[in-house]
Amino acid sequence: MYTNEDLVKACLDLFRQTEGNKVDIPGIGETVLYEEPIFGFASAKDEIFEIFRRKEAIGSNYFGPFKWLPKAKSVMALFLPFSEAVRSSNKADRTDPSKEWLYARIEGQEFIGRYMAAIRQLLADKGIDACVPALDERFDVKIEPTVTGLRPDFHADSRWSERHAAYACGLGTFGLSRGLITEKGMAGRFASIIIAAELEPTERKYTGIDDYCIKCGACARNCPAKAITLKHGKNNLKCHTHVEAMKKKYSPRYGCGKCQVGVPCEFRSPAKR
């Protein structure tokens, strides 16, 4: 049976061994996509997972840990920060994503999939059942049109949310752009796994959903789609429309991420400082 410390050490070893975090980008060269992840834990019995089923959180389409894994006892969430090379490159153009960011978003997500499958296998080799919702065929997102004031928008009622899992596991709180601000910032990707083993929950050093956001408005100023405002937060429809335009331009890759770079919460939590 793993302790938190033993599991984190084993997962960090796997992170270094899993192929795909270093890619050869045409015209750029060999680039590391992610820095080492940070980890957080929650009990599968934590009532917060039931709160996520409320419409104002995620919605009724959301599956709690026991739906994914009846023997669930713990949830482990990870934040994988983008490397400095990826982050810095995406500040050069105010509208289009950098080539490094595009690769980190697509090839980087493929790496995370392999990495999470490797963690699942690591646990299986110890006789511990586990489920990675993002890799499960039951994963689904229901899109619901909404209107805030006179602004058309949509709400994504997802079967599972990596950001919400990370919030539950003590990794951080939401920002104005609806990204999650961790002690390593918000420029990066999240992953999670549900585990049939008791692990010590990480203390949530916050009570509100946006305690680490200082409401500076930098992400709103950076957004090329004008999808973020201090008054209304983020408009998913405007953001999605811009990302779709980038997908047409850079297919098969896509991305944006301007709200995650050149901001106080890029690679740290400004509120905690």
What are the tens digits of pLDDT across the range 180-209?
999 999 999 999 999 999 999 999 999 999
- pLDDT value at position 272? 64
How far CA 1 is from CA of 4, 74, 148, 251, in Å, comes to 10, 13, 49, 44
Average pLDDT of the chain is: 96
113 closest CA partner among 206, 23, 18: 18
Burial 66-85 (b: 16+ CB within 10 A, else e): ebbbeebbbbbbbbbbbbeb
Dihedral-angle region of residue 170 (phi above 0 means left; psi in -120 to 50 means alpha; beta otherwise): left
- pLDDT value at position 120? 98
Domain spans in the chain, listed from the N-terminal domain onward: 4-172+184-206
Question: 75-84, 113-122, 132-141, 145-154: which has the minimum mean pLDDT?
Answer: 145-154
Average pLDDT of span 70-85: 98
pLDDT tens digits along 34-72: 999 999 999 999 999 999 999 999 999 999 999 999 999
- pLDDT value at position 147? 75
pLDDT tens digits along 83-103: 999 999 999 999 999 999 999
What's the length of the chain? Answer: 273
- pLDDT value at position 2? 84
CATH class of 4-172+184-206: alpha beta
